[in-house]
């Protein structure tokens, strides 16, 4: 598997989410889908520029609340650039579920950044 592509299954209670992340030189793409198949859902674009993260919705959210925006801002912040995020869920995500998903994402991002730093120092 390419170092630029990561995927992870996240089990939250009885729900299962599939996280797919593609890293680019100037940002990344994140897909978070609930269920057995990957699906494109709501989409948001965020960019970090001048120390701030700004975002715009491309495909509006149906039931994600603020999670889609938070995911895009976290990704843009970590990669210091563009973040394109898709979120497909079957029902509302609770605050506890969102915390577990965000913790899993941050752990994956930390690993990617660590791997990049090792590669750059070699």
pTM for this predicted structure: 0.89
DSSP string, 19-68: EEEEEETTEEEEEEEESSS----EEEEEEEETTEEEEEEEE--SS-TTHH
pLDDT digits (tens, 9 = 90+) for 71-85: 999 999 999 999 999
Mean pLDDT, consecutive 10-residue stretches, the chain (122 aa), reads 80 93 94 91 95 94 82 95 95 92 91 82 72
Q: Decide yes or no: CATH 3.60.10.10 for domain 5-121.
A: no
Q: Cα(48)–Cα(57) distance, rounded to whole angstroms?
A: 15
DSSP state of 92: P
* pLDDT computed for residue 64 by the predictor: 58
pLDDT tens, residue by residue, 4-24: 899 999 999 999 999 999 999
């Amino acid at each position: 598997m390419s170092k630029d592509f990561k995927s992870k299954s996240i089990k939250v209670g009885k729900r299962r989410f599939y996280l797919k992340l593609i890293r680019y030189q100037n940002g990344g793409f994140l897909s978070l889908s609930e269920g057995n198949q990957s699906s494109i859902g709501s989409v948001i674009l965020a960019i970090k520029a001048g120390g701030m993260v700004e975002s715009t919705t491309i495909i509006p959210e149906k039931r994600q609340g603020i999670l889609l925006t938070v995911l895009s801002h976290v990704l843009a912040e970590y990669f210091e650039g563009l973040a394109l995020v898709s979120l497909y869920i079957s029902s509302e995500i609770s605050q506890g579920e969102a915390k577990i998903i965000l913790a899993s994402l941050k752990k994956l991002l930390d690993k990617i950044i660590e791997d990049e730093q090792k590669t750059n120092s070699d």
